[in-house]
Every structure is written in structure tokens, then in C-alpha cells.
Amino acid sequence: MKTSSQAGTEAVAAALVKRPARARGETELGWLHSRHTFSFGEYFDPDQMGFGALRVINDDIIEPGQGFGTHPHRDMEIISFVLNGQLEHKDSMGHGRIIQTGDFQYMSAGSGVLHSEFNPSATEPVHFLQIWIMPDHKGLTPCYAERSSAATASGGLQLIASKTGRAQSLVIHQDADLWLAKLDAGQTCQYTLAAPRQAWVHVAEGEILLNDMPLVGGDGASGHPATLTIRAVRPSQVLIFDLG
């Protein structure tokens, strides 16, 4: 017979749907090793076309001296998060930057922009997440910004991007908040989700329990529980997308 506490825990876990890392799509090009949470490129799954305004989470590793040549984008909010290594960005707005481990880079493609992404290292691969969020308006003026999380202390939540730009977060053109939880083993944090908003949680690296659901690097989970409780089994970085 289940106790009321056990039943409550199971109900919370049931409110979340797991997207295992092993179920993601794959692209292998020799110089690029990519895993796709949602349909992207030649990987197509009609049941995985995004989650609300969240359209793409690509987990990319680029080999030394390789990268994406100049190509166009439009009408998309694009965020890159470097987990390890360096990523060189160039675009038609005149930006040329090398972002480092722990950096977030934001580009609003808006009415149209050309850019390239390249690993400038001759010896080390770069591992990063590429995130696409659909904007709330089309034809916006393209823009670029950066935010670093390298100095963020473990044990809490950092607001990385939001529509309002509060707490010095990157300003994006969508009713979406992107939070980073950086946790050492044994640390716990909680996030309150206001109804009727929905959350997508992505484990960038590490191993956690999310409302008692075990997740490892590359796993995701979605739903709308009132509270998200994240406990790190190993040192972890976790992204929370709070979507209107």
C-alpha cells in the first residue's frame, strides 16, 4: 500500500515526460557530431517538432579547425552555450568573436543575417548547445549579444535570457525565460512554474534527479508541474526553459 507521500511523488513525476538522450536524432559528418532533441536537417520525427516556441536543441561537437561555413538565417532567436572549448562567430552585422567555455551567445536573425561558426583550436574539439527559439514577430532587426556563466557559483539558478531583460539577462523576442542551474554533487535547487506556463528541462551535462526522475547528460523532460526540484547526483549544468 502506497503512503500519501509516495503517491504525491509519483503524481509529480508523472506530470513530466522524459526525452531520453539515446532517442535523439543523429548527424555524423566526421568533423561534426550532432544530436538533435527535435527534428532538424535530415532527422525528421513528426512527434518531435519542438515544444511551444522552443524549436531546436542541438548538442554539437566540432572537431579542431572545422566548422559551419557562412550560411543564412532569418526569423529565429539563436542561442549557443559553450560547454567546453572555443567557438568563433562571424556575421554580416560585423561581429567577430571567440566565445569560451561557459559563454552564452545570442543572435536574433530577424529579417535576415549571414553567419559562420568555427572551432579555432588546432588541437581541441568544441562542445556546445545550439538552441533555436521562434520569435514572437517576423522581420525584426537582427542583433547580437553575449552573456557569461563561467563565474557563476554553483548551487543556484541564473537567468540567462528573457523577453524583459530583467536581472541583466539577454533580451529575446519571445515570452520565454531561459535559466541555468549549475550544481555540485548533492546540491539541490527548486524552480516554481506559474500556471499555465510549461517547462522544458535539458541536462547539458551531469546527472540529476528531476522531481525524482533520473536524467543524465543529453536527457530532456517536459511538463507543467508547479515545482521543479533538481538534485545533482554528479556535478551538473541544467537548462530550464519556462515557456508561455
pLDDT tens for residues 203-233? 999 999 999 999 999 999 999 999 999 999 9
Question: What's residue 218's pLDDT?
Answer: 98
Contact assessment for residue 85 and residue 124, using Cβ atoms and an 8 Å cutoff: yes
- What's the CA gap between 139 and 18, in Å, rounded? 34
Per-domain residue ranges of the chain: 4-243
Q: pLDDT-based confidence at 12, cuts 50/70/90?
A: very low
Check: CB of residue 111 under 8 Å from CB of residue 74. yes
Cα 242 to Cα 168: distance, rounded to the nearest angstrom = 17
- Rounded percentage of the chain residues whose pLDDT exceeds 90: 92
Over residues 178-196, the mean pLDDT reads: 97
**H or E stretch including 13?**
helix 4-14
Prediction pTM value: 0.93
pLDDT at 15: 84
Q: Cβ(198)–Cβ(189) under 8 Å?
A: no
Q: Which burial class, exposed, middle or buried, applies to 100 when counting CB atoms under 10 A from its CB (0-12, 13-18, 19+)? A: middle
Please tell me the class of the 4-243 domain. Answer: mainly beta
User: What percent of the chain clears pLDDT 70, i.e. is strictly above it?
Assistant: 94
SS3 40: strand
pLDDT tens, residue by residue, 43-87 = 999 999 999 999 999 999 999 999 999 999 999 999 999 999 999
Q: What is the pLDDT of residue 154?
A: 93
What pLDDT digit, counting tens, does each position of 102-144 carry?
Answer: 999 999 999 999 999 999 999 999 999 999 999 999 999 999 9
Q: Mention every residue, 6+ apart, whose C-beta is less than 8 A from residue 134.
A: 50, 53, 55, 75, 76, 77, 174
> Nearest 10 degrees: CA dihedral of 233, 54, 151, 106?
160
Specify the pLDDT at position 9: 40
